[in-house]
Structure 1
Amino acid sequence: MLTNRSAPHALVVPVLTVADVRAAVAWYADVFGFVEHVRIGEGHRAQLGLPSGAELIVAEVRPGRRVPSDGRSHQILLKVEDAAATVARAVAKGALVIDELHDWEYGERQAAIDDVFNHQWVLTQTLVDTAPEQWGGKTVTRRRA
């Protein structure tokens, strides 16, 4: 598969519609550490990335594309080093905590927030490597290492 310097390299990239692309770029950089890779116009669209290789696009509102309203059609799960610190940064920048931090039997510490653009994020910190069978899950197909 060819790569293109003008397009994201990840195979799956969420595109989040926001009312203010430049504000979203700044917020996602300040709170989550995203870096802007490609800017398409001042307010049209931006491609962001993390050192881990995760990528995200923020895009302007336009016909057929709007910011989320009541209810959720999606959440974005983001792996972080320190969930408590990330939640604190997000709240300091105006995010709303939807689900408080909780340590789960499957080895993750998680919280859910609504960012200031009304997108919901699940922030997850791995505490321990746990086989799905240890907490009632089932391994169907093993992931590649």
Structure 2
Amino acid sequence: MTTHEPGAEPAPTVWHCFRCTDSRLVIDWLVTTLGFVETVSHTDDGRIVHAELLWPEGGGVMLGDGGRADDDPHATPPGTGLAYVVTADSDAVYQRALAAGAEIVMELHDTDYGDHTFSARDPEGNVWSVGQYRGHPAPDAST
């Protein structure tokens, strides 16, 4: 088991997963608009059943076509996702999103907890917040 060292910023080890009506549309948006890198897409009868995209600075997302199904414990309604993407340069990602014509739902701003962040909505309604906040350092277990 990997643990966070006290005082260290947490490493990105959680992958956000969600369902789409049109995964290809969302994948293309994530690559073009935010800068994700598509690593794999598995299809079945023309549908993307599983795709993985890496964030160049660490972590990634998994997605696939489909909605809520009684026999799928992982299914959520398409367009209901919310993800936070950590970057060293939110200004550059913001400018990239603007240039790609993204729907900005929260303008670039600074927070009282040290983030420099914005949010954009993808073509299916999922909201992608991008910022520089890497999370609070892990507590020292010895104190």
Unpaired runs of 5+ residues, structure 2, are 2-11, 70-74
For residue 30 of structure 2, what is the aligned residue in structure 1?
28
Contact 2:33 2:102 in 1 (8 A): no
Contact 1:15 1:58 in 2 (8 A): yes
Over aligned residues, Cα RMSD in angstroms?
2.9
Identity %: 25
Cα–Cα, structure 1 residues 142 and 40, in superposed 2: closer, same or farther, change >3 Å?
farther
TM-score normalised to structure 1 length: 0.66
C-alpha distance in structure 2 between counterparts of 1:75 and 1:142, whole Å: 30
Cα–Cα, structure 1 residues 61 and 101, in superposed 2: closer, same or farther, change >3 Å?
same
Cα–Cα, structure 1 residues 51 and 92, in superposed 2: closer, same or farther, change >3 Å?
closer
TM-score normalised to structure 2 length: 0.67
Contact 2:25 2:123 in 1 (8 A): no
For residue 103 of structure 2, what is the aligned residue in structure 1?
96
AA aligned opposite 1:67: P
For residue 48 of structure 1, what is the aligned residue in structure 2?
53
1:59-84 CA-to-partner distances (Å, cap 9, x unmatched) read: 10244242136xxxx53111123323
Structure 1 residue matching 2:132: 3-state secondary structure: strand
- Deviation of the 1:120 alpha carbon: 0.9
- Deviation of the 1:54 alpha carbon: 0.7
Cα–Cα, structure 1 residues 40 and 140, in superposed 2: closer, same or farther, change >3 Å?
closer
Contact 2:20 2:67 in 1 (8 A): no
C-alpha distance in structure 2 between counterparts of 1:94 and 1:75, whole Å: 19
Which one has more relative contact order, counting CA pairs under 8 Å at least 6 apart? 2
For residue 139 of structure 2, what is the aligned residue in structure 1?
141
5 Å matches for 1:1-145? 11-41=13-43, 42-44=46-48, 45-64=50-69, 65=75, 66-68=77-79, 75-125=82-132, 141-142=139-140
Equivalenced residue count is 121
C-alpha distance in structure 2 between counterparts of 1:140 and 1:38, whole Å: 33
- Deviation of the 1:141 alpha carbon: 2.0
- Deviation of the 1:40 alpha carbon: 0.8
